[in-house]
Structure 1
């Protein structure tokens, strides 16, 4: 039987059936003007202008993946930022409502986690979450939860749900599984019935009831297994929605809207798929899909080639209107529906629809959101400005996919130090079972654009710099792996590169479809990566690629000895990584948590002991040279304030302008790619008089790599230059 909802977190009498009028949902024009959001011109959409008797125009608006971007402020760089935030997109939403009259606003999840602001507020346990309160101030009518809303653990997620002033719905993440989805014990209401009066073309007012349900990727339990395992359970998103559709219709829903915190992947359904917006839209009875999770925009004329069922020009999935509004409040998803009364039934059907993604253009924050966010914003600014340590070198990720990055190596060593300090039994066995550490750059441009790079200047380290290095609160864990598993782990990382053939000219070095945050580098090993070989492991599926028998990882060794398939190692990594890919399946069962530490906490402890002021172990990986090949590497404009990762005067990298998105491009002479070196980007700190903070035993470096470095010209630092945070840099690279 279906569960009662009255005692669910986030469910109250209005959570399953809410009447949406001007003060319940988005304000009317006069109310919005009173809130100081600027001049609103109530220009009707063409559907509103053309409605006749028994017809009405309804506008559905979508936010998604706000990731605690409450105000137009870059909390990592601590500076104002234009074009994104809930406060700005809420202003756009009020204008969109004013144009339509009949409208509802929804949030599609991942609102409450993902920025320095949420990181410093995570310990707060009482009252409404600041983002939930701000969503209510923005006029959001209903919302779902995304996978990252569970990153701080079940207690935080329950706080979000219990105190949310915005009705929440989620049908595929539950407290207990029943025989069928409708028998599950839900975490929040599995669906909502939202009632609204529509003004029709003949001046009459008729009620419409919207059935609203939400889903997230079932992989949420894999990504957060250390905190949610055995406490929550997930179902396939399509299975869950299909099961609840009859219940929504029986409860009186005229139309069904799915708040799908899931991307647009394959058009056909595959059980357990992460990105299921397409199959959800194909369900009979689903009228609109509001999607998220992937941080992309849909419709989009530049969407990659896709099956006919995915119409990125018109915003249709299997013919069903669908939108995805990007992330961090950069755009507003808009679905305009022309509704007609169904003869005899008194219900409604969708006669026509239009979809759009409208980028934020205003620079005026919504007054209601700004007022709701003010105290939280000010507390967060005070917290992120707290000094924590000093760093002797700049720490950035502009070249982290081109050469070994000191920023990533710092995290590697912080993880190893934490394992040694917390689990002394492992440290005592290092002579027999080497302790390695896997870490990846969190910010490498990609979908988030040319400003999405970690950039920590030399000198004083603040709390915000730690969060810039470690964006998410992933737990630190250690696992035992074999040499064969290590090699496969690195092959997955190497899928970030495109295939660059010998003699290529102007070929992309990076695969634009693969996120840089999957590029783990493993400290304690030395190896080379050959982008001229096809990837052995597909970036997302984990399946082998036909014809890629040998893979890309070459000369894999530990302490100067080749790594054999049966060798044993211990590997420090993070909790998310173990659930992020097919390659890692089966490894989680061997994972041992490192106390209750997050990687960020381990990093703070490490730098507080001087770890960022001392010499880090030498770089462990490099690219293989590719004869007569030149490839293009994109990075952020901030890279120009740093020396290039090459020996002084080597001329391996050459400025090649910018692309249409603003990325700075460098042409790479791949025939000498093995000489690229992240340590060249800043003068190395002096060796400390005291033992290193890692407590690591000295390791013999790969002889070939050491010889290559010995043959390099002396490194020289360029003149200081002003960086993007207003600080002085150690040197300037070529202009883009």
Structure 2
């Protein structure tokens, strides 16, 4: 293993520069230093370049591939540091396997494989992401104790029962560190730069991991914490300050919201911050995705003049910021910066090979994970692919809804047993965020036949827990109105190409399908709500023909609006408070089971009772058929593969045809969908 400072010594280079003091003609030496900051983020336990759902190596993902880029970029730099932004411990079957062992045996059996890998690469610091809390504080503490580098977070505070003697109101983690970094200047001479690192996590962890954090921690706003601690870092002599927010870009429209989840734009306005290595939203910055972002320079990689980078997800990119600094009269000044994200895979080409040091470090856990995900749980009667999950009712969502309804019905109290149970479930893997080439592989692919645990993990990606809320029919409608933000508005009088899927402002995991009711979506209407479910067009109604059938009784209109329902969902959605009918005041059931466990149990129970589970979609939702005098050209994107082509042909509910004349920049296929017949 190479210590990061030893690596820096090994790759030291030289260059020279002097400057003249024109006022007195005395020569004053100007010391110049090049410093490279490397960033990983949102690895989500994709340590290996391996797809556990497909049981094959995958060159588009994995820290094993990113590690080769890290070593290349380190070798090419005179001075470098390496940071991780967070969301490391959850997100792949390997993460589930390690956490499952911890829950069963109260031990992860030594160093977490994520740190076995990262400890070979010489990280300077790690930040805490929101998914680090998914398995509880005990698991988090034991895991990060295995890191050979410090962890930081400035906005999570102890409330009660905290580790290492922390008292109420104290930071749960070290809020920041100031590292005295030995670097080499233009003459090859050693210099010292004090680099400050400060990390942040979205305040929403109190909602997303309520069951793990309630009564234990409180959270400050990201900008609020930065404004408190950055001046302290300056007072301690930090020459350069690197902010590491696990937070997306956000916008300039509301930069002072203390509870903002995506606060990077606002953070760039905090005095004293020189670089931002961010993450959380799985996008790549700088890139064309952010064209039009106010005060962003996509050539230089800056936001409000501050160097900034976000390296995608699952190791598909490495963030790089190159600084040029000068030291005059004992003070370091940033002369120039350039930020960029470097991919491991592009244009169907492997740009780096795997690093065998990382592969070897986790070989044992990799083999054990393969065994873990191969456990049989049942049999399915038909294929479950998510290629069409955004344009029609879908088996990958249907089977989750069936499982959630069954689990909640089994646990209804006498006071709730006569209330109909619905289910809200979203397609978690339906093209990712349509922002990187790896997203074109992000689809559920579970074929008919024998099912294993890896199939359940493919169908339900996150370790959420089962939670149910009690709502009215009116709230069901408003819930669906917000969900319908997934679609762009279609002009019924235009013959120009119109893309149906709103990739920019609505994530597919927020596209809830509510099963147990029937409805249609009128995409010619404007969105009734914005992405935060706030009504912005009160006269717009995308959700039409909403009904609930109970035997011979069909509820619609005002009768439906007043009827009570229980919606089976997950802790993330139920406690979120964003969708109508969500928030702690609506919660009527919290179960210890994860949604994935409930799904696996349902598959097993159905197989034992019927010989197999039937995941066929019940087609309870559809688009409103558009009446227009012109031929519409409505398009959507999905995976470009033979298996997708076959599935679309076999299961399409409307007429769907693949275009061969349009190239998608991320490698997706483009299809037309007929909304007129």
TM-score range, shorter chain: 0.7 to 0.9
Mark the runs of 5 or more structure 2 residues left unpaired by the alignment.
Answer: 19-29, 161-166, 345-349
- Which one of the candidate residues 521, 528, 543 is aligned to 2:520? 528
Shift of 1:426: 6.2
Tell me what 1:95 maps to. 72
Q: How does 1:124-163 map to 2 (within 5 A)?
A: 124=102, 125-126=107-108, 127-163=110-146
Q: 2:501 aligns with which of 504, 510, 520?
A: 510
Matches within 5 A, 1:702-717: none
**Secondary structure, aligned partner of 1:100:** coil
Residue 231 (structure 1) shift: 1.3
- For the 8 Å contact 1:418–1:594, the answer to whether it is kept is no
Moved more, 168-177 or 606-615: 606-615
In the alignment, the residues of structure 1 paired with residue 168 and residue 372 of structure 2 have an alpha-carbon distance, to the nearest angstrom, of 44
Of 559, 564, 571 in structure 2, the residue corresponding to residue 568 of structure 1 is 564
Q: Is residue 2:304 matched to residue 1:318?
A: yes
In the TM superposition, residue 303 of structure 1 has moved relative to its aligned partner by: 2.2
Q: How many residues were matched structurally?
A: 625
The Cα shift of 1:621 comes to 0.9
User: Cα deviation per residue 1:434-458 (whole Å; 9 max; x = unaligned)?
Assistant: 1111111111103352111111000
| 1:261-297 deviations in Å (ceiling 9; x for gaps) | 1111113332211111112121111111111111111
Residues 159, 215 of structure 2: 8 Å contact kept: no
What stretches of structure 1 of length at least 5 have no aligned partner? 1-20, 31-41, 673-736
Distance 1:456 1:71 in 2: 21
Correspondence 1:438-477 to 2 at 5 A = 438-445=424-431, 446-447=433-434, 449-477=439-467
Q: Which moved more, 1:218-227 or 1:456-465?
A: 218-227
1:75 to 52, 55, 59: 52
Q: How has the CA–CA distance of structure 1 residues 617 and 289 changed in structure 2, closer, same or farther, with 3 Å as cutoff?
A: closer
Q: Tell me how far apart the structure 2 counterparts of residues 103 and 617 of structure 1 sit (CA, whole Å).
A: 52
Residues 1:397 and 1:617: Cα distance change in structure 2 (over 3 Å):
closer
Equivalent pair of 1:504/1:631 in contact (CA under 8 Å):
no
Contact kept, 8 Å, 1:26 with 1:140, in 2: the verdict is no
The secondary structure found in structure 2 opposite 1:58 is: strand
Cα distance in 1 for partners of 2:396, 2:245 equals 35
Is the partner of 2:427 in helix, strand or coil? coil
- For 2:665 and 2:322, the matched residues in 1 are separated by 30
The equivalent residue for 2:324 is 338
- Verify: 1:396 aligned to 2:379, yes or no: no
The residue correspondences of 1:153-192 to structure 2 (distance < 5 A) are 153-176=136-159, 184-192=169-177
The correspondence for 1:387, drawn from 376, 382, 386, is 376
1:220 is the counterpart of 2:205: yes
| Residues in 2 aligned to 1:159 and 1:413: alpha-carbon distance in whole angstroms | 36
Deviations 1:696-727 (A, max 9, x none): xxxxxxxxxxxxxxxxxxxxxxxxxxxxxxxx
Deviations 1:73-93 (A, max 9, x none): 112212111132111111111
SS of equivalent residue, structure 2 residue 215: coil
Match of 2:228 among 243, 267, 275: 243
State the secondary structure of the residue aligned to 1:122. helix
Tell me, in whole angstroms, the C-alpha distance in 1 between the residues paired with 2:454 and 2:409.
Answer: 26
Q: 1:22 to 1:386 in 2, by over 3 A?
A: closer
8 Å CA contact 2:117, 2:358 repeated in 1: yes
Partner of 1:487: 477
- Relative distance call for 1:61 and 1:26 in structure 2 (3 A) is farther
1:55 aligns with 32
SS at match of 2:524: coil
Are residues 103 and 530 of structure 1, via their aligned partners in 2, closer, same or farther at CA, if it must alter by over 3 Å?
same
1:435 is matched with which residue? 421
Q: Distance between the aligned counterparts of 2:508 and 2:223, measured in 1?
A: 29
**1:231–1:57 CA distance, 2 compared to 1 (3 A):** same
The 1:301–1:510 alpha-carbon spacing in structure 2 relative to 1, beyond 3 Å, is closer
Please state whether the residue corresponding to 2:360 is helix, strand or coil.
helix
Query: Cα RMSD over matched residues?
Result: 2.4
Distance 1:109 1:549 in 2: 42
CA distance in 2, matches of 1:144, 1:664: 36
Instruction: Output one character per residue of 1:681-703: Cα deviation in whole Å (capped at 9) or x when no partner.
Output: xxxxxxxxxxxxxxxxxxxxxxx
Native 8 Å contact 1:110 1:149 kept in 2: yes
Task: Find the counterpart in structure 1 of residue 25 from structure 2.
Answer: none
SS of corresponding position for 1:65:
coil
Q: Show the counterpart of 1:625.
A: 625
1:662 and 2:646 equivalent? no
Which whole-Å CA distance do the structure 1 matches of 2:648 and 2:187 have between them? 68
Alpha-carbon distance between aligned partners in 2 of 1:570 and 1:492, rounded to the nearest angstrom: 18
1:554 to 534, 544, 554: 544
Inter-partner Cα distance in structure 2 for 1:247 and 1:508: 49
Counterpart of 2:489?
499
Q: CA deviation at 1:26?
A: 7.0
Q: Give the TM-score of the pair, scaled to structure 1.
A: 0.81
Q: Is the 8 A contact 1:503 1:630 kept in 2?
A: no
Residue 649 of structure 2: SS of its match in structure 1? coil
Kept in 2, the 8 Å contact 1:176–1:186? The answer is: no
For 1:426 and 1:348, locate their aligned partners in 2 and report how far apart those are by CA, in whole Å. Answer: 68
Q: Secondary structure at the match of 2:670?
A: strand
